[in-house]
Amino acid sequence: MQVEQERLAKLRYKIEEANERYYVLDQPTMTDAEYDSLMRELLDIEHKHPEWVTPDSPSQRVGGFVTKEFPKVRHLEPLLSLDNAFDAGDLREFDRRVRSAAGPVEYVVELKIDGLTVALSYENGLLVRGATRGDGEVGEEITANVKTIPTIPLRLKETVPRLDVRGEGYMPKASFAKLNQEREEEGQPTFANPRNAAAGSLRQLNSRITAQRKLDYFAYQMLGAEEPEVKSQTDVLAYLKQQGFPVNPEYKVFQNIEELISYCEGMAEARHRFPYDIDGLVIKVNDLAQQRELGFTAKSPRWAIAYKFPAEQVETVVEDIMVRVGRTGVLTPTAVLTPVPVAGSTVSRATLHNLDNIRDKDVRIGDHVILHKAGDVIPEIVRALPEKRSGREKVFDMPECCPECSSPVVREAGEAAHRCTSITCPAQQREAVIHFVARDAMNIDGLGPAVIQQLLEAGVIKDAADLYALKFEDIIDLERMGKKSAENLLQAIADSKERGLAPLIFALGIRHVGEKAGKILAKKFGSMERLQEATADELQGIPDIGPAMAESIAHFFRQESTEDFLDKLDRAGVKMTAAESSRPSVFDGQSIVVTGSLQRWDRQQIEDLIETYGGKAAGSVSKKTAFVVAGDKAGSKLAKAKELGIPVLTEEEFARLLEEKG
């Protein structure tokens, strides 16, 4: 028995060493036949002794686990997206903002892999969870699928108490080509690009399929690490590599913005030389202390930016220009194009933004134009080709009257936008209702644009608040609306009353206020009534709420129409308060850091407890930290707290504090 266990341990070591040398170091030490022989022997022993199977065994990479759904998981800290830069001017402006706030800086530039964000969690050196980014705060657990990626370590080189890592899961070009060839031969639809293929593979319910897709991974960020003492992004990359993670070696350090710009522009030409797709570069302030000093906006870090490469360009024809009226009354011209494939999809529409943009580019109906996808996402006309004109092309003018309600269209001085002057414009109402019922807002399933259009045209509703007065007889005669669908829709409307304050704030469609800001405002004010009373100055004092957003919020709530709308929601029983806690705000607004290995709580439990009692569970120690809760083997965060003179509590002291004040 002991001999067999020793053989099993040796097999695991040999196989993982072979995996690292083959996949990470690109220095294979054995033939495929030798590797397969070792793996077969390992599987035979584990089949005989299933009680010996451990989470870090190489056998756990082969897949086969089938699940009905992916559990939700909250990330250790928000996985924010990045602001984008598209040219040298954007990079210089980013550099100006950074240096004006932080002084002299050094930048590290990394390749922006075109894949899917994957967060990994390790406890005591073992991989315990893999998760997608989700909305940045809550993702989906895909641990079984993550384990099939051979470059991801199942066990770290050192037994670190807790380490969360952010990186990119991706599909190499060779794997993508092979997968599409196989799908084509089997008569299945092919993937548009490696990113879509990677995303689909990592969200497979059967991890055996994921294992067959030959995915890979690059790690680039530590989240709430307990060890080691790292002071820069380059330190982070070195430490991750030391722990066995694959780290992309193609990164550069710059002190001079012009040298950085030159490198970025050169890489735009060289991007196709890599065995994986990249759609840009990520520029980060290298010093972690300066990163903390620069901080974050509601959506992105102020210390990093993504430089997006110029996109693929193709030629097509503008068949027409149509005008759409949005929920704020802005008229947006959109080019109707001869369908053309570009950057992985077929494009037949492209926004022209406003009349100034049309005039600057001299785009006419009937023109041949050059098209690309801005940031590889948004279709955009780059320029017209006047040399191909036949003389039958038509110059476009914005309509003098709204195409939806025939009200006058105006263009205010200093604005590029043309707006419909009617606050009762049906297009504005329609778009406002569509936004209100969206999944991230009030999440009313069954209320698509077509149903909303019918309700408005029938005069059954005038705005989103009227949805809560709908009766069965109001909707049963709508097109394609059966008895069961009508009942389900009414139930979905009723259920939405309990969505809570944060989704409701977002649903109101206040200019500049997104989903993240809605959560911030709900947590700060607790009720719609309190938010209505807030001044622009008070709003601007909230972290992540800037001057433009603050003034927009204050202006929105000053409108009589807003008060009438909210009154209707209140009378309908829509919940307009945040979830109340029976517990007092013991830590009201305090920033608290948890570090080390805990005995009484796991990390998520204690951080949820801190937030329940009104505090903020922070990922790093700074001068603003109220106190630190330290468990066993606490590392650099504990040292930092002592250096700054910040109080340090044990778990027992923290528990007593809750008992005394709670």
Q: What would the DSSP string read from start to end of 121-164?
A: EEETTEEEEEEE-TTSSEEEB-HHHHTT-TTS-SB-SS--SEEE
Euclidean distance between CA atoms 93 and 257, whole angstroms: 10
Q: How far is CA 416 from CA 324, 331, 374, 511, 654, in A?
A: 16, 11, 20, 17, 56
Q: Which of 68, 72, 112, 178 is catalytic?
A: 112
Tokens of 45: 């022993």
Number of continuous H segments (helices) and E segments (strands) in the chain: 24, 22
By three-state DSSP, how is residue 378 classified? strand
Residue pointed to by tokens 């294992």: 211
Residue 303 backbone phi and psi in degrees, to 5 = -100, 5
Task: Single out the residue of 98, 108, 109, 110 nearest to residue 290, CA to CA.
Answer: 98
Beta bridge partners, 341, equal 346
Q: How far is CA 183 from the centre of its chain?
A: 29
Contact 383, 361 (CB under 8 A): yes
Euclidean distance between CA atoms 83 and 93, whole angstroms: 12
Euclidean distance between CA atoms 11 and 35, whole angstroms: 10
Contact 585, 612 (CB under 8 A): no
Tokens of 237: 């990359």
Residue pointed to by tokens 């604005």: 415
Residue pointed to by tokens 């780059």: 382
Instruction: Decide: residue 196, CB within 10 A, 0-12 exposed, 13-18 middle, 19+ buried.
Output: middle
Euclidean distance between CA atoms 244 and 20, whole angstroms: 8
Euclidean distance between CA atoms 596 and 635, whole angstroms: 7
Q: What would the DSSP string read from start to end of 510-573?
A: -TT--HHHHHHHHHHH-BHHHHHH--HHHHHTSTT--HHHHHHHHHHHH-HHHHHHHHHHHHHT
Active site (annotated) includes residue 112 = yes
Residues marked active site are found at 112
